[in-house]
């Protein structure tokens, strides 16, 4: 789906959570509402830096940027909006959303340590070869996440640390990683 179709789907989930699994579950639904607010905040406030703008504007060959995500994903609430803001003005880049939990299950080809962690970005050239695979979160944050899980930190504590990190980082690490991968 396009980014706009993803936003429309997200709004449908929020309007009728009982019609979409797992959003009938109050915990999923409440977290999804929070993600909607976070994503919209980044859509309004996130401005790609000059280096990434210059790099993205220099892309003249056709590319497909595929993001595997779901509205319930806290990491996606930050990264997906930022990714979209980075590429939205380049007509050579198709930005496409695939839902992790819907067919075709593209995530099966892009597991993280055997798990279906999202969001996942796949950048393909126009003949379908993967150029870059990124995700589910910036490397520095992934290191923190893995350590906290190894330390058996409660999930609520992990979510708080991740949220604080995203708010302080403001998309800088994501942009640096994309610059390194695409340069």
pLDDT at 128: 85
pTM of the model: 0.95
* DSSP letter string, 150-182: HTT--HHHHHHHHHHHHHHHTTHHHHHHHHHHH
Place of tokens 């999923």: 28
Specify the fold of 3-182.
Glutaredoxin (3.40.30)
The answer to whether 40 and 84 are in contact (CB under 8 A) is no
pLDDT, residue 17, reads: 97
Are 96 and 6 in contact by the 8 Å Cβ rule? The answer is: no
Q: Taking CA 142 as the corner, what is the angle to CA 21 and CA 109, rounded to the nearest 5 degrees?
A: 55
> Do the beta carbons of residue 28 and residue 72 sit within 8 Å?
yes
Contact present, 112 and 141 (Cβ < 8 Å): no
Averages of pLDDT over each 10 residues, the chain, 183 residues: 98 97 94 97 97 98 97 97 98 98 94 96 93 97 97 96 97 98 93
pLDDT at 88: 98
**31-56 burial, b if ≥16 CB within 10 A, otherwise e?**
bbeebbebbeebbeebebeeebeebb
Place of tokens 């520095």: 140
Distance CA 138, CA 83 (A): 12
36: left (phi over 0), alpha (psi -120 to 50) or beta: alpha
From CA 44, how far away is CA 158, in angstroms rounded?
26
């Amino acid at each position: 789906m396009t980014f706009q179709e993803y936003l429309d789907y997200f709004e449908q989930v929020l309007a009728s959570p009982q019609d979409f699994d797992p959003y009938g579950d109050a915990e999923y639904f409440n977290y999804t509402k929070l993600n909607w607010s976070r994503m919209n905040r980044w859509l309004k406030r996130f401005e790609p830096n000059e280096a990434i703008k210059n790099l993205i504007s220099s892309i003249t060959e056709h590319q497909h940027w595929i993001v595997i995500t779901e509205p319930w994903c806290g990491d996606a609430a930050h990264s997906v909006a930022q990714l979209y803001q980075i590429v939205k003005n380049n007509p050579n880049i198709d930005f496409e959303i695939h839902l992790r939990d819907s067919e075709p299950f593209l995530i099966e080809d892009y597991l993280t340590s055997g798990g279906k962690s999202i969001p996942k970005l796949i950048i393909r050239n126009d003949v379908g070869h993967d150029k870059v695979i990124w995700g589910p979160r910036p490397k520095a944050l992934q290191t923190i996440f893995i350590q906290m899980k190894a330390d058996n930190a409660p999930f609520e504590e992990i979510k708080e640390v991740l949220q604080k990190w995203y708010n302080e980082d403001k998309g800088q690490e994501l942009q640096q990683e994309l610059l390194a991968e695409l340069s």
